Amino acid sequence: MGQIEWAMWANEQAIISAWVMLTGGIIGLTGFNRWEIAAYSVAAGIFIILLEYPRGKRKKGHSIERRYQQYLTRVIHACGTITSNYYIRFVLHLLLCVPAGFQLPTIMGALGLFIASIIYFVAAFHGEKWQPVGIDTKGAPISSNQTVITQPPSQPPPRAPAHVRPKRPAQPSEGDPTIL
DSSP state letters, 56-107 = BPPSSSPPPPPTTHHHHHHHHHHTTHHHH-HHHHHHHHHHHHHHHTTSGGGH
pTM of the model: 0.72
State residue 45's pLDDT score: 96
pLDDT above 90: residue 97: yes
DSSP state of 135: B
Burial class (CB in 10 A: 0-12, 13-18, 19+), 51: buried
Tell me what the mean pLDDT of segment 99-128 comes to. 94
Q: Is the pLDDT of residue 138 over 90?
A: no
For the segment 16-45, the average pLDDT, to the nearest whole number, is 94
Check whether 140 has a pLDDT greater than 60: no
Q: Which amino acid is at 24?
A: G
Q: What is the mean pLDDT of residues 134-146?
A: 58
* 63-90 per-position pLDDT tens digit: 788 888 888 888 888 888 888 889 999 9
Phi-psi region of 129 (alpha: psi -120 to 50; beta: other; left: phi over 0): beta
Number of other CB atoms surrounding residue 6 within 10 Å: 19
Q: Comparing C-alpha atoms, which of 5, 141, 143 is closest to residue 73? A: 141
Is a pLDDT exceeding 80 seen at residue 143? no
